[in-house]
Structure 1
Amino acid sequence: MAYGHKTEYRLRMRAQVVLHAARGRSNAHIARETRLHLDTVRTWRGRFAEHGLSGLSDRERTGRPAMFTALQVAETKALACQLPAETGTPLARWSCPELAREVVARAIARSISASTVRRWLADDALKPWQYQSWIFIRDPDFRAKAGRIMDLYARISDGVPLGRDEYVVCADEKTSVQARCRCHPTLAPGQARAMRINHEYDRGGALAYLAAYDVHRAKVFGRTEATTGIVPFMNLVIQVMSEEPYASAKHVFWIVDNGSSHRGKTAIDRLTSTFPNAVMVHTPVHASWTNQIEIFFSIVQRKVVSPNDFTDLGEIRDRLRAFEDRYNATAQPFQWKFTTSDLDDLLARLDRHTADHPEESSVALAA
């Protein structure tokens, strides 16, 4: 300890005091040798004599007295876990400064800073300023419909593996893709500067983008139409089903949502009468997340449409068509990891939640 390169300076000096004492030197002599105060030498020499090596370590200190009690901390966290509207506060959600202000107003504490509130909330990972939107499952056949789609993604239909001549296609429409011609040219990014796009624009019209995605082959078929509807959707179906290997396939499963252009049994009969080998599979109501085409549409939104700066609708059509070719050249199937087992776990958690909070379930059903 007295001569170690990694020993803390204070421990090194205390060890030297002990070694000098072991050689029979007086406290005054040790103080001169180590350039420490006489009382300091006396303290560490006595501590070593009484406790040995452990006596050379610092004792635990009480530190500054706590300014807030555990009850005050708990009451602040409880307040953060309530909706502001429930407390009569005209806020949509809490922030740390607003919580600090409310704590003082409720006389929970005489004064408190926003940073203190933030530190308390961080201990329990509480973030009342954040929110997520969600929708309650209302489809009575949710398990059957969603389970069938999960099985198709896993290449299973009615408990039987899909054959090599059976395909799964997800389809949907991306409505109202606008052409916004900016009043001033968009500026390219530069050093320490993001791309700049003018806020003002002239409207150049809007179109609908319809796309079909082969889940296992990772191939996209797209087209643009003036609007959505039965005819535009059937044009997409004809575009896909007229090509091989779909034209001669045993089955082509079309996964679609409950939009007006492909809703209900009428849409199923219309598809089957046109293409007998096509099978329409509807997602559960309000469960578009089970349709993999939504993943592709999110890619289109991020990489093609945003920021929206097009001179006319023709430029949108050309870019979407070019992006399809670019995407299909390197596309890999999406790594879909949500299985029927995960679906059962989700429904079990929802059942437990509704059992514990029956009032929420009744409100959701009423809505």
Structure 2
Amino acid sequence: MRYAQGGGLTAERREFRERLRLQAVERFARGESNAVIARDLRVSVRSVQRWRKSWRSEGARALGSKGPASRPRLSPAQFRQLEAELARGPAAYGWPDRRWTLERIQTVIARRFHVTYTIQGVRKMMRRHGWSYAAPASRAAERGAGGWVRTERGREGRVAGAPRPKRSE
């Protein structure tokens, strides 16, 4: 995985990186060495070498941001629809227990939106939208077996907005 966050660079981070490259362009024009530019901008010498090569062949616009690497397969509106489907619970899709697994979420996406995701792609998308895996607190038979639940952003482990399963006794 290229970026630890699992979703590439944010728009702010892309702009920051672009500003670094454009600062390097100004310094290329002044004739500064790659090592000095790399040290001052706190990047690798190899990156500065690549930037200089692109600048020589295509000019300064070659170092501009190209935008995000890819667009999401599900739009924000479709993800909201997915959340509504998940709120219905796994029983609505014929699964006997009350937990959402990545494989089940992948199946719902494929059935509902006709879009294929890998298991890791589903995991990254769910994490990016504030969902996390809630492991069971203990192995007691009366407890649920865990599953994916919506969490508040910035408060990992604290479940918010997840429907509580009804106990049938």
Please tell me the TM-score bracket, short chain as reference. 0.3 to 0.5
User: Under a length normalisation based on structure 2, what TM-score does the superposition of the two structures give?
Assistant: 0.42
User: Under a length normalisation based on structure 1, what TM-score does the superposition of the two structures give?
Assistant: 0.22
> Whose radius of gyration is greater, 1 or 2?
1
